[in-house]
Copies of this chain bind each other. A is one copy, B any other.
């Protein structure tokens, strides 16, 4: 039964963009490092997902970057939020809150109504 895994994966869609903006809001970072940080936070992301996403955000003027030389290995592209990116982050913040409110509302209204029938305060 692979459907649970599929849907769990689907649940992450869209939130990745939000989480990446969150990470970059604090401080500039580069792709490989972003992947490591998200993995620490239990959000597995791979290169084939992240690079197109960063490019999209850059093309929409939400991010910009500078090349920074590294003492070990090739140079790195450090991304940071533009003012527009900060606005987008604020908007996603609100969207995220509204969405969780909606789902939790549905949940308490529907699940408790069936599972927890001891509540007879009507």
| Interface of A toward B, CB cutoff 8 Å | 1, 3-4, 7-15, 17-19, 22-23, 25-26, 41-43, 60, 62, 84, 88, 91-93, 95-96, 98-100, 102-103, 105-107, 110-111, 113-114
The smallest beta-carbon distance between A24 and chain B, in angstroms, is 9
A5 CB, nearest partner CB in chain B, Å: 9
Chain B residues with CB under 8 Å of A88's CB are 1, 3-4, 7
> A22-B110, A26-B114, A111-B25 known; A10 and B17 CB under 8 Å?
yes
- Main DSSP-derived SS at the A contact region: helix
CB distance from A89 to the nearest CB of B (A): 9
Knowing A14-B13, A110-B22, say if A105 contacts B7 (CB, 8 Å).
Answer: no
